[in-house]
């Protein structure tokens, strides 16, 4: 039976970057994914993801964000220049909203620059956006968007180039511990490894069933519209934007693919997983169309039905924890098993540093990155 230093279950954002990091350190690596990333059956679906340096979810993410940015900029400099597009990220809401309060807190704690814009200044600088008069805008200029396909391609190709063996479209049937090693079972046979890393997204709860992780899988609908005023939605003319409440957000148009619009804090929970994920429907589009008309009136031609101006609608899956924070830890029973789970819809931008952390834990047993607040123990 072939043996490896590390086996990885799940090669989406976290798994692919973990594979590349491990292989780059000289470890023998084998990775499995039941699909072929990128795909629409995981949390990375949707073509683009926002990158923010000022973090609303918790100030403790900011050091990890800075480290992630070092990785992204290095990868871009090495030839993946399409990874990042610097557009800025504009948060909009009432002064006492959790969104605006979270941005201010992170900026204050870490001394990060943020531009405060009243509603009329937002409308002047970014004519695509129409915040109510009592809204404040906070602009993080050192932010933008990440191309999902380019990022995953960079990691998967990099891992292979460095010697990792990646088996896509291969479902893992289970795993077990035998002595100091781990056995991974597939339809093609067993694989033996010294360490196992589980980064399986929405499937993590099933693969780590004995831990009874408090993970909720939620269906998210993503839409793309052909802009009625395209000059207002180009990078430079429009930032990535998010409105509170409801975290209604949008991206500028990239490459003629339409303006991406979605909600971050809405989505139907899936009572059991894995299940068939319902496709987008008219019920999903109605609230979006109303918020587009309210907050982004230049996006759609009011004389035409919104459905006629929609280029695409897709789903992706959020795997949420009760507190909205990631789980990065070692299995409490098996020290050779590590996992990263519950990235709660805001993890993609951290993928390179999560790969570094999981590689540290697998090979060294510890990491210098500040992830203690993400450990499982004592949180739920």
Instruction: Provide the CATH number for the domain around residue 315.
Output: 3.30.9.10
* Same domain membership, residue 292 and residue 311: yes
Question: Tell me, what's the pLDDT at 53?
Answer: 87
Is 379 a domain residue? Answer: no
Are 240 and 315 in the same domain? yes
274 prior amide bond cis, ω within 30:
yes
Alpha-carbon distance 194 to 171, whole Å? 20
Answer yes or no: is 232 within a domain: yes
- Is the domain of 227 the same as that of 349? no
Same domain? 241 vs 289: yes
Backbone conformation region of residue 45, classed left if phi is above 0, alpha if psi is from -120 to 50, else beta:
beta
Residue 355, in any domain of the structure: yes
Angstrom distance (rounded) from CA 175 to CA 185: 6
pLDDT in tens, 319-357: 999 999 999 999 999 999 999 999 999 999 999 999 999
CA gap 71, 275 in Å, rounded: 35
For 138-148, give one letter per residue: b (16+ CB within 10 A) or e.
Answer: bbbbebbbbbb
Please check whether residue 81 lies inside any domain of the structure: no
Q: Find the helix or strand (DSSP H, E) in which 338 lies.
A: strand 337-341
Domain of residue 14 covers 3-46+149-213+323-374
The answer to whether residue 62 is domain-embedded is no
| Residue 80 lies inside a defined structural domain of this protein | no
Regions in the chain scoring below 70 on pLDDT: 1-2, 80-81
Is residue 205 assigned to a domain? yes
* b (16+ CB within 10 A) / e for 189-221: eebebbbbbbbbbbbbbebbeebebebbbbbbb
Which of 278, 298, 320 is the endpoint of a domain? 320
**72 within some domain:** no
My answer on whether 117 and 171 are in the same domain is: no
Q: Are residues 230 and 311 in the same domain?
A: yes
Contacts of 271 (CB under 8 A, 6+ apart): none
> Same domain, yes or no, for 248 and 315?
yes
End-to-end CA distance of the chain: 39
User: Are residues 117 and 225 located together in one domain of the fold?
Assistant: yes
For residue 2, what pLDDT is reported?
60
Q: Which of 320, 335, 360 is the last residue of a domain?
A: 320
Is the same domain home to 127 and 222?
yes
Q: 114 vs 88, 132, 228, 235, 379, CA distance in Å?
A: 10, 20, 30, 19, 31
* 153 & 31 share domain: yes
In the three-class reduction of DSSP (H, G, I as helix; E, B as strand; rest coil), residue 160 is classed as helix
Backbone φ/ψ region at 357: left (φ over 0), alpha (ψ -120 to 50), beta: alpha
The CATH number covering residue 160 comes to 3.50.50.60
Asked if 104 and 227 sit in the same domain, the reply is yes
Domain count of the fold of the chain: 2
Q: Do 352 and 312 fall into the same domain?
A: no
Among 292, 320, 348, give the residue marking a domain's end: 320
Q: What is the enclosing helix (H) or strand (E) of 176?
A: strand 172-178
Residue-level pLDDT at 271: 80
């Amino acid at each position: 039976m072939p043996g490896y230093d590390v086996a990885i279950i799940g090669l989406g954002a976290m798994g692919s970057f973990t594979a590349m990091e491990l292989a780059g350190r000289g470890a023998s690596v084998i990775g499995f994914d039941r699909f072929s990333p990128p795909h629409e059956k995981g949390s990375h679906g949707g073509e683009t993801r926002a990158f923010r340096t000022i973090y609303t979810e918790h100030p403790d993410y900011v050091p990890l964000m800075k480290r992630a940015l070092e990785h992204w900029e290095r990868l871009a400099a090495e030839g993946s220049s399409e990874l990042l597009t610097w557009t800025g990220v504009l948060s909009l809401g009432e002064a006492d909203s959790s969104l605006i309060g979270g941005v201010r807190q992170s900026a204050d704690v870490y001394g990060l620059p943020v531009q405060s814009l009243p509603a009329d200044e937002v409308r002047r600088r970014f004519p695509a956006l129409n915040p109510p008069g009592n809204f404040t805008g906070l602009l993080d200029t050192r932010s933008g968007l990440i191309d999902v396909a380019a990022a995953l391609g960079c990691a998967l190709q990099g891992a292979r180039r460095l010697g990792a063996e990646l088996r896509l479209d291969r479902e893992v049937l289970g795993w077990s511990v035998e002595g100091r090693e781990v056995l991974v079972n597939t339809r093609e046979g067993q694989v033996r490894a010294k360490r196992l890393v589980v980064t399986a997204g929405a499937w993590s709860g099933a693969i780590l069933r004995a831990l009874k992780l408090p993970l909720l899988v939620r269906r998210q609908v993503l839409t793309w519209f052909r802009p009625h005023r395209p000059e207002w939605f180009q990078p430079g003319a429009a930032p990535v934007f998010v409105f509170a409440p409801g975290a209604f957000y949008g991206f500028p148009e990239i490459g003629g693919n339409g303006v991406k619009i979605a909600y971050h804090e809405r989505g139907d929970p899936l009572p059991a997983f894995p299940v068939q994920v319902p496709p987008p429907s008219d019920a999903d589009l109605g609230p979006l169309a109303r918020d587009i008309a309210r907050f982004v009136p230049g996006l759609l031609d009011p004389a035409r039905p919104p459905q006629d101006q929609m280029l695409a609608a897709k789903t992706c899956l959020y795997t949420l924890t009760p507190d909205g924070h990631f789980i990065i830890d070692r299995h409490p029973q098996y020290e050779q098993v590590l996992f990263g789970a519950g990235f709660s819809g805001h993890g993609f931008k951290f993928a390179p540093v999560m790969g570094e952390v999981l590689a540290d834990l697998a090979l060294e047993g510890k990491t210098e990155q500040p992830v203690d607040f993400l450990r499982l123990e004592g949180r739920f």
